[in-house]
Amino acid sequence: MKFKSQDKQNQLIEKITAQHLVVGIDIAQQIHVARAVNYRGIALGHPLSFSNDEEGFQSLLQWIHSLQAAHSLTAAIVGMEPTGHYWLNV
């Protein structure tokens, strides 16, 4: 049986639960910006600007963990739109 792409997308969305922190990252050349929402799309915390290097990635990870702890969330989903090659480091 063939699935339409919409069916596949719906299956992926259904896997997101109330325990998930959903993080979207806007990719740029040197400074990225991350925003976090809960499973319903309600913004959590403030956006995070972080550099495209190891120090910036560590701050992103720490930010994610602190939001998870503050909102009693046990899982995280991170998504981004690839822009050129700048997303590869993340």
**Residue 32 and residue 50 in contact, taking contact as beta carbons nearer than 8 Å:** yes
Q: CB within 8 A of 57, min separation 6: which ones?
A: 50, 89, 90
**The pLDDT of residue 74:** 97
The rounded distance, in Å, linking the Cα atoms of 24 and 14 is 18
**The pLDDT of residue 33:** 96
Give domain limits for the chain: 17-80
Q: What CATH fold (topology level) applies to the domain 17-80? A: Nucleotidyltransferase; domain 5 (3.30.420)
Between β-strands 20-26 and 43-51, what pairing exists: parallel, antiparallel or unpaired? unpaired
Q: What is the pLDDT of residues 7-53, one digit of tens each?
A: 887 887 888 899 999 999 999 889 999 999 999 999 999 999 999 99
- pLDDT over threshold 90, residue 57: yes
Q: CB within 8 A of 12, min separation 6: which ones?
A: none
Least confident span in 29-33, 34-38, 65-69, 82-86: 82-86
**The pLDDT of residue 84:** 80
